[in-house]
């Protein structure tokens, strides 16, 4: 439960919502979620025990309709709402401030996620381009050497024949499998640099988001909101990579 509803203030706000007319429990949950712009929604385990307590105190009553309990405020409930009108005004002000804070936090996280998704898309495009590139066109190496002229079958040495111990069509020190010079790093798979950069950026993203969330000392509801935002970003990446 968000901190704005501590000390029995949720009970007061439920009376305020029921003052507009009878409602069932899940309708009250949706109204609260709408009031917080979708950034907070109380669970059924939070709402129903409080409705039962309100009913036990004679402030609300319920009727069964369509398999659901529909709650309606009693005259005693309306009297309490009038008596606590000042508290309700302060509560509405605190809710507005809480929504503003949650919206700012959501904006910061979404900005971080959008930037990271842009970086990820760019790195994935580069990795795909490197993967499609032929191995003999890897950076730092020229094309495969063209086949030489057909060796003269007559006895005796020929200028087109390779020196003893060399493979035809390859330069000294090259690999017969690839035709690439056997220098340090030549055996690296294309795209491995982009993949390493991706791993580094992913790790940095996790550290930065974790530090951002911990620095704000978020409540449980705010943390749940952050989790939903991250889940949304992950769903977007899944759709991108299909």
For the stretch 168-212, pLDDT in tens is 444 444 444 444 444 444 445 555 787 888 888 888 888 888 887
pLDDT score recorded for residue 40 = 81
Find the domain containing 66 and state its range: 3-83
d(CA 121, CA 117): 6
- Residue 48 belongs to domain with CATH number: 1.10.10.10
Q: Is the pTM of this model over 0.85?
A: no
Which of 38-42, 71-75, 88-92 comes out lowest in average pLDDT?
38-42
Do 79 and 199 belong to one domain? no
Do 100 and 79 belong to one domain? no
Do 229 and 116 belong to one domain? yes
Domain membership of residue 172 (yes or no) is no
pLDDT score recorded for residue 128 = 65
Say yes or no to pLDDT of 13 above 70.
yes
Do 55 and 127 belong to one domain? no
Could you tell me which of 84, 63, 109, 114 has the C-alpha nearest to residue 14?
A: 84
For 128, half-sphere exposure in the C-beta direction (CA atoms, 13 angstrom radius) is: 7
- Final residue of a domain: which of 46, 61, 83? 83
Q: Is 186 helix (H, G, I), strand (E, B) or coil?
A: coil
d(CA 73, CA 80): 11
CB atoms within 10 A of CB 16: 15
Do 11 and 56 belong to one domain? yes
pLDDT score recorded for residue 141 = 45
Do 110 and 36 belong to one domain? no
Do 198 and 115 belong to one domain? yes
Q: What is the 3-state secondary structure (H, E, C) of 112-153?
A: HHHHHHHHHHHHHHHHHHHHHCCHHHCCCCCCCCCCCCCCCC
Residue 32 has which token pair? 């609260």
Do 40 and 68 belong to one domain? yes
Could you tell me which of 31, 18, 30 has the C-alpha nearest to residue 60?
A: 18
Do 27 and 110 belong to one domain? no
First to last CA, the chain: 37
pLDDT score recorded for residue 129 = 66
Q: To 5 degrees, how large is the angle CA 19–CA 25–CA 31?
A: 60
Count, in order, helices (H) and strands (E) of the chain.
7, 3
Domain membership of residue 103 (yes or no) is yes
CB atoms within 10 A of CB 222: 21
Residue 147 CB contacts under 8 Å (≥ 6 apart), including other chains: 169
Q: What is the mean pLDDT of residues 138-147?
A: 48
Q: What is the mean pLDDT of residues 16-31?
A: 93
By CB atoms closer than 10 A (0-12, 13-18, 19+), residue 202 is middle
pLDDT score recorded for residue 183 = 41
Do 68 and 123 belong to one domain? no
Domain count, the chain: 2
pLDDT digits (tens, 9 = 90+) for 84-138: 999 999 998 888 888 877 777 676 676 667 666 666 766 766 666 666 655 444 4
């Amino acid at each position: 439960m968000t901190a704005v509803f501590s000390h029995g203030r949720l009970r007061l706000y439920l009376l305020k919502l029921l003052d507009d007319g009878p409602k069932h429990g899940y309708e009250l949950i949706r109204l609260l979620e709408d009031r917080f712009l979708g950034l907070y929604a109380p669970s059924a385990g939070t709402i129903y025990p409080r409705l039962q307590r309100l009913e036990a105190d004679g402030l609300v009553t319920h009727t069964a309709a369509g398999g659901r309990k529909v709650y309606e405020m009693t005259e005693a409930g309306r009297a309490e709402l009038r008596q606590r009108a000042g508290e309700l005004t302060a509560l509405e002000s605190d809710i507005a401030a809480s929504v503003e804070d949650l919206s700012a936090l959501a904006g910061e996280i979404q900005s971080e996620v959008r930037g990271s998704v842009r970086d990820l898309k760019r790195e994935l495009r580069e990795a795909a381009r490197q993967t499609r590139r032929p191995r003999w066109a890897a950076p730092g190496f020229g094309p495969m050497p063209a086949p030489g002229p057909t060796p003269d079958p007559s006895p005796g040495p020929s200028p087109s024949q390779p020196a003893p111990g060399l493979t035809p069509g390859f330069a000294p020190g090259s690999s017969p499998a690839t035709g690439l010079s056997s220098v340090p790093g030549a055996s690296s798979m294309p795209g491995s640099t982009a993949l390493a950069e991706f791993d580094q950026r992913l790790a940095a993203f996790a550290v930065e988001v974790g530090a951002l969330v911990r620095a704000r000392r978020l409540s449980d509801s705010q943390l749940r909101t952050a989790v939903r935002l991250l889940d949304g970003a992950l769903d977007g990446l899944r759709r991108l990579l299909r």
